[in-house]
Amino acid sequence: MGMWIAIAIVLFVLGSMMALKPSGIDQRLDKLRMTARRLQLNPKLVTCPDWVKGRDNEYGRGMIGQYGLVLDNVKLPLTRYQVLDGQWRPASNASSSDNNSSDNNSLNNSLPVQANFSLDKEPLALPASIEPFVKALLVKSNSIVIYWEDIAYVRPATNPAYQQQTIESDLLIMKENLEKWALQMQKSA
């Protein structure tokens, strides 16, 4: 009888410890964000800005990954782009409202967003595993920020071709493109 009680206690303790372990998707997402941090892409999970299509393709709904690249000695105009048919298109200000729910909106609503067409119809040219999840681009001062559903990148249901070995190369391509787009914006400013 004492042996059965000891087995039950051990199983209870092991079950409790297994419940504390993060899920596989959480582990993949952590690996993605840690790699991005190491590559100086500054990942954050933020409230979806009101000018970006978030969850269920509705503007400003849910949470979204924000990966930003800070560029030294660069001055860029405050500009927003959205993805349309695999290309960057200037974001209209029509969807901006009084809703200052995200920190990006409260920072940017006081400054006029300039119409800048230097990236208009520029293809995303990102890896096929990242491109479907990219939503928007924000260019401001000395940084360029890409909004994308990073959790969809690591989910087996939305990205069945996920390979942990390709995370770094995919993020390096993203970083190179962010630098290229920033230089293109700087030349046209």
Two tokens, residue 167? 């995370």
User: How many Cα atoms within 13 Å fall on the side-chain side of residue 139?
Assistant: 29
Q: Do residues 66 and 145 touch, judged by C-beta distance below 8 A? A: yes
Output the pTM of the full model: 0.79
**Distance separating alpha carbons of residues 27 and 5, to the nearest angstrom:** 34
Our CA angle for 116, 119, 122, nearest 5°, is 155
Least confident of 1-10, 30-39, 133-142: 1-10
Average pLDDT, the chain: 84
| Average pLDDT over every residue of 68-94 | 85
**For position 51, what pLDDT does the model report?**
92
Closest alpha carbon to 179 in 29, 76, 104: 76
Q: What are 124-154's pLDDT values in tens digits?
A: 889 999 999 999 999 988 899 999 999 999 9
State yes or no: pLDDT of 92 exceeds 90: no
